[in-house]
Amino acid sequence: MTASVTEAVAEGNESPARNSPRGTRKARPGQGNGAEGQRFFIAKHGGTSSVPELGRELRGEAEAMVESLKTGLSYFMVSEWRGVADFSGRKPQLSRDAVRAAPKTG
């Protein structure tokens, strides 16, 4: 019995999560990782910390980080979702759909 324990420990260089019989989690329809619904804003100058005040919208997180470094202001990541109900089965299923950002004009 000690030999099998020793072998298991010696072979166990991988993390326990990789050997899990449950495997990795698959995304369900309507529940993406959220990247498609994310929008980025730089904080307004002179805003208070108790209530977030969104300033100019930026194209992505990389641009928001750079702008934050330049200005010394925080940036905000906002995710917008809409609840969706599916009544086709025996039990109602609730999920979410990302709301697409409106095209920028300017």
Asked if residue 82 belongs to a domain, the reply is: yes
The whole-angstrom distance between residue 47's C-alpha and the CA centroid of its chain comes to 26
Examine residue 63 and state whether it is found in any structural domain, yes or no.
Answer: yes
- Domain count within the chain: 1
84 contact partners, CB below 8 Å, separation of at least 6: 30, 94, 95, 96, 97
Q: Does the residue 25 lie in any domain? A: no
- What is the pLDDT, as a whole number, of residue 87? 94
Is residue 11 one of the residues assigned to a domain? no
Domain assignment of residue 7, yes or no: no
Range of the domain at 97: 31-106
Decide: pTM greater than 0.85: no
Indicate whether 6 belongs to any domain. no
> Has residue 87 been placed in a domain?
yes
Using one digit for the tens of pLDDT, what is the confidence trace for 13-48?
Answer: 544 555 556 655 444 444 445 566 799 999 998 877
Say how far residue 51 (Cα) sits from the centre of its chain: 22
